[in-house]
Amino acid sequence: MLMGLYNYWIVVVLMMVGFYIVIAHGNLIKKIVGLSIFQTSVFIFYISMAKVEGGTAPILAEGIRQYSNPLPHVLILTAIVVGIATTALGLALAVRIKEAYGSIEEEDIQKKDNLDC
């Protein structure tokens, strides 16, 4: 059992590292880095389940019987694109926030907002 699932456990640890960075850190850029680590770990989860022992890459060729599952690969290709789209937009927002508030620290921004009210 230990050997059969260790891969998923590593993925869980990675996911949680990313997730922790997102919610615990106050720096906007770092949050986005965390988010992308979180997402990449989910990709690893999908790709790991596609692997078949003794299989090869899903490109049809003579003399190969066992292929890994292509479907998760397709899903993750899409998800990677979604991930970079989110990262780009998040960074653009961070840049604008820096211009508007002069800071990219959550606390400073919150403080300035409270002053506005």
Partner 1 sequence: MLAHLPILQVIVPLMAAPLCLFLTRSRLVWLFTLIASGLAFLISSLLLQQVMVSGTIIYELGGWDAPWGIEYRIDQLNAFLLLIISAVSTIVLLAAHTSIKQEIPADRHTLFYILYLLSLAGMLGIVATGDAFNVFVFLEISSLSAYALIALGKDRRALWASYQYLIMGTIGATFILIGIGMMYQMTGTLNMDDLSKRLPEVAHTRTVFTAFAFVIVGVCLKLALFPLHLWLPNAYAYAPSIVTAFFAATATKVAVYLLIRFTFSVFGLSFSFTALPLQMLFVVLGLLGIFAASIAAIYQKNVKHLFAYSSVAQIGYMIVGFSVSTTTGLMATLLHLFNHALMKSALFLALAAVVYRIGSVQLSQFHGLGRQMPFTMAAIVIGGLSLIGVPLTVGFVSKWYLALATLENGWWPVTALILLGSLLAIVYVWRIVEVAYFKPPIAGRESIKEAPLSFLIPIWTLVIANIYFGIDTRLSVQVAQAASQSLFGVSP
Partner 2 sequence: MKDLFAVIMLSGIYGLLSASFFVSMDAVDVAFTEASVGAGISTLLMLVAITMTGRTENPSRHKPLLALAVVIVTGSLLIYGTLDMPYFGSAQAPIHQHVAPRYINDSMQEVGVPNIVTSVLASYRAFDTFGEVVVIFTAGMGVLALLSAVRRPRDVAEIDSFNKSMYEEHLILRIVAKMLIPFILLFALYVQFHGDYGPGGGFQAGVIFAAAIILYAMLFGMNTARRVINQSFIQLFAAIGVLLYGSVGVISLLNGKNFLDYSILSADPIAGQHLGILLIELGVGFTVASVMVIIFFNFAGRRNNQQNKENNDSC
Interactions with partner 1, residue window 49-108 (CB under 8 A): 49, 71-72, 75, 78-79, 82, 85-86, 89-90, 93-94, 96-97, 100-101
Identified binder of partner 2 from the candidate list 57, 100, 110, 113, rule CB under 8 A: 57
What phi and psi values does residue 27 have, to the nearest 5 degrees? -85, 130
Distance (Å, whole) CA 84 – CA 90: 10
Sign of CA dihedral 86, 88, 89, 92: positive
Please enumerate in sequence order all residues whose Cβ is within 8 A of that of 51, keeping only pairs 6 or more positions apart, or say none: 68, 69
Which of 51-59, 60-68, 109-117 is the region at the interface with partner 1 (rule: CB under 8 A)? 109-117
Is residue 22 close enough to count as binding partner 1 by CB under 8 A? yes
Is residue 100 close enough to count as binding partner 2 by CB under 8 A? no
3-state secondary structure of 27: strand
Is residue 75 close enough to count as binding partner 2 by CB under 8 A? yes
Conformation bin of residue 105: beta by default, left when phi > 0, alpha when psi is -120 to 50? beta
Provide the binding-site residues for partner 1, judged by CB under 8 A.
Answer: 15, 19, 22, 28, 31, 35, 38-39, 42, 45-46, 49, 71-72, 75, 78-79, 82, 85-86, 89-90, 93-94, 96-97, 100-101, 109, 113, 116-117
